[in-house]
Amino acid sequence: MAQLAVAGEYAELLPHLAIVLSYSIVIYTIAVVAFRYKMSGDKA
């Protein structure tokens, strides 16, 4: 994939970037939900 970037084949990288971005959004969302759950649980 690095070879594609160096060669300027950015269109070929888009599917890979979409997958990485999707995983990042999912993991970030899980982290936010877990953090809010832990913070609300400490009040009781």
**pLDDT of 31 over the 80 cut:** yes
pLDDT of residue 12: 83
pLDDT of residue 21: 96
What sign does the CA torsion over 4, 9, 12, 17 have?
positive
Q: What is the pLDDT of residues 7-25, one digit of tens each?
A: 877 788 889 999 999 999 9
| 43 pLDDT tier (thresholds 50, 70, 90) | low
CA–CA gap between residue 4 and residue 33 (Å, rounded): 36
Q: What percent of the chain has pLDDT over 70?
A: 93
Q: Which residues contact 13 (CB under 8 A, 6 or more apart)?
A: 1, 4, 5
Find out whether 14 and 1 touch, Cβ atoms under 8 Å. no
